[in-house]
């Protein structure tokens, strides 16, 4: 970031103009987090983060704003403790902090955290070491961190999460075009502005593919239903579900549009299939050994795209598929740890390397490593970090919906040429739908998430979390 800023100053762009743009971004964030007439406390330190916060204060129209220029932290502790407004803007310290907080600075940060008022952190939560993601003694526990230019790598570490809250990026603050490349790339809504392309007017069901879903067993039939409904929201031409014989009646009773069949060792997938999803809800005692073997065979031999989720992740043979066809796995950190035979903490400590190793184990397949800021990529090349989603997605069925939604896109032949774009879009849309729902209401279910998939961008205008 410092080199990027220096490259900007060298072109004649003034620091003040960039700070004004940064302040405008902070103000937009603060306005989104509050309502007209509510009070905002702006704490501005001596550095550039303080300047950003002061500029933001001038753009907080329709709010009661109290700006405190913090030079003596002891004088502000009581004010922070007693503040009962709607939001605190933390502009105390930025990325330059290099020593642990102590004395009255430490007391001030603790008072902010004890206030229970939502906090918007400017660039980096004050007290957080951007180089490690660890607090320097202690750090502000922000509800939202709005960082500038690009995501700071260490803000994505698990240890930083309790302090950063929701991570957002103000990418356009007047800096010159970024002169650097990174292995990690932050996904934004505009990445999908042209996705999907308009459907041809002469298209028919066969044009848009046929997804086969092998899913659902005794006690886990709901996973198959959610996967099918998620797939239908991507609007492939056809969806067929194959559940175990015990789960079949329960799955069939809940699906009208998808075709539902009992899976038996004699089952043949329809010749019109253009992609296969295996795994959601296949954890019951009635899953026959032949189904497990067939899943492994399809992964190894099918010329079609195959997506493996949930239980199927433990059935996969290592090595590349014989056909070189598209392959995708969707583990959460616990499943990734089992695939790698390491601890979950090890996966979280280096998610990028964990993803790459899983991909290499399975023929350079695409990996969707789920969790906070889901990571997407392969054994080599760029990795994409999802910017959407929130903790309300931590519900049973969320992964089933995502797997189906992803399969529904990859079943469409016209989208398979750029599978990475389709995968990234499915992940972002899934998370964004959750953001829109969470902005509307405190509690919601997977059926409500499914109903919003595909329409969340329009539904969330002016109201996303």
Q: Report pLDDT digits (tens) over 125-175.
A: 999 987 888 999 999 999 999 999 888 888 999 999 999 999 999 988 999
Q: Inter-axis angle of helices 2-9 and 15-33, to 10 degrees?
A: 130
Which residue would you say has higher pLDDT here, 286 or 133? 286
Please say whether the beta carbons of 358 and 383 come within 8 A: no
User: Is the confidence at residue 362, as pLDDT, over 90?
Assistant: yes
The confidence score (pLDDT) of residue 465 equals 36
Across all residues in the chain, what is the average pLDDT?
94
Domains of the chain are: 2-179 (3.40.50.10260), 205-459 (3.40.1190.20)
What are 277's strand-pairing partners?
213, 307
Helices within 34-138 (DSSP H only): 48-57, 74-82, 103-114
Mean pLDDT of 373-390: 96
Mean pLDDT of 230-237: 98
The confidence score (pLDDT) of residue 179 equals 86
User: Is the confidence at residue 318, as pLDDT, over 80?
Assistant: yes
User: Is the confidence at residue 20, as pLDDT, over 70?
Assistant: yes
What are 240's strand-pairing partners?
212, 259
Mean pLDDT of 237-255: 98
Mean pLDDT of 182-188: 91
The confidence score (pLDDT) of residue 461 equals 52
- Cα separation, 340 vs 309, in Å, equals 15
User: Is the confidence at residue 265, as pLDDT, over 70?
Assistant: yes
**Predicted TM-score (pTM) of this structure:** 0.93
Of 322, 294, 323, nearest to 308 by C-alpha is 294
User: Is the confidence at residue 462, as pLDDT, over 60?
Assistant: no
Max Cα separation, the chain? 77
The confidence score (pLDDT) of residue 180 equals 85
User: Is the confidence at residue 349, as pLDDT, over 50?
Assistant: yes
What are 65's strand-pairing partners?
40
Mean pLDDT of 435-444: 95
**Percent of the chain clearing pLDDT 90 (strictly above):** 86
User: Is the confidence at residue 463, as pLDDT, over 50?
Assistant: no
Instruction: Using only the alpha carbons of the chain, give its radius of gyration.
Output: 24
- Cα separation, 331 vs 337, in Å, equals 9
Please say whether the beta carbons of 162 and 134 come within 8 A: no
- Cα separation, 175 vs 107, in Å, equals 35
User: Is the confidence at residue 464, as pLDDT, over 50?
Assistant: no
257 SS3 class: coil
The predicted-structure confidence for 44-63, as pLDDT tens digits, reads as follows 998 888 999 999 999 999 99
User: Is the confidence at residue 109, as pLDDT, over 60?
Assistant: yes
């Amino acid at each position: 970031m410092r080199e990027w800023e220096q490259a900007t100053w060298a072109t004649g762009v003034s620091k003040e103009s960039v700070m004004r743009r940064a302040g405008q971004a902070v103000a937009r964030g603060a306005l989104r987090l509050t309502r007209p007439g509510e009070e905002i406390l702006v704490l501005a330190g001596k550095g550039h983060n303080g300047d950003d916060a002061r500029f933001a204060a001038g753009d907080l129209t329709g709010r009661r704003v109290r700006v405190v220029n913090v030079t003596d932290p002891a004088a502000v502790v009581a004010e922070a403790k007693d503040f009962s407004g709607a939001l605190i803007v933390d502009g105390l310290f930025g990325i330059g902090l290099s020593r642990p907080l102590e004395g009255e600075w430490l007391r001030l940060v603790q008072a902010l955290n004890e206030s229970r008022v939502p906090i918007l952190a400017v660039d980096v939560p004050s007290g957080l070491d951007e180089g490690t993601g660890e607090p320097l003694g202690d750090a502000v526990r922000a509800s939202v961190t709005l960082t500038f230019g690009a995501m700071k790598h260490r803000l994505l570490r698990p240890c930083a999460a309790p302090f950063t809250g929701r991570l957002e990026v103000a990418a356009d603050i007047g800096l010159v075009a970024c002169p650097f490349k990174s292995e990690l790339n932050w996904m934004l809504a505009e990445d999908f502005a042209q996705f999907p392309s308009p459907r041809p007017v002469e298209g028919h069901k066969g044009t848009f593919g046929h997804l086969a879903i092998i899913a659902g067993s005794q006690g886990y039939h709901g996973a198959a239903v959610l996967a099918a409904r998620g797939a239908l929201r991507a609007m492939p031409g056809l969806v067929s579900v194959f559940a175990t014989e015990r789960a079949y009646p329960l799955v069939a009773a809940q699906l009208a549009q998808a075709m539902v069949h009992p899976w038996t060792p004699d089952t043949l997938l329809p010749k019109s299939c253009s992609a296969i999803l295996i795994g959601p809800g296949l954890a019951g005692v009635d899953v026959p050994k032949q189904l497990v073997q067939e899943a492994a065979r399809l992964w190894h031999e099918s010329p079609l795209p195959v997506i493996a989720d949930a239980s199927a992740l433990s059935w996969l043979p290592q090595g590349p598929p014989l056909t070189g066809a598209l392959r995708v796995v969707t583990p959460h950190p616990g499943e990734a740890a089992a695939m790698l035979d390491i601890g979950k903490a090890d996966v979280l400590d280096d998610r990028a390397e964990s993803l790459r190793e899983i991909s290499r184990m399975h023929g350079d397949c695409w990996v969707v490593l789920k969790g906070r800021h889901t990571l997407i990529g392969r054994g080599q090349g760029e990795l994409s970090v999802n910017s959407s989603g929130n903790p309300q997605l931590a519900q049973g069925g969320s992964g089933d919906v995502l797997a189906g939604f992803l399969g529904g896109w990859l079943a469409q032949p016209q989208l398979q040429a750029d599978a990475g774009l389709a995968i990234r879009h499915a992940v972002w849309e899934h998370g964004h739908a959750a953001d829109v729902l969470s902005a509307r209401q405190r509690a919601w279910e997977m059926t409500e998430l499914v109903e919003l998939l595909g329409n969340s961008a329009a539904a969330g205008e002016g109201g996303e979390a």
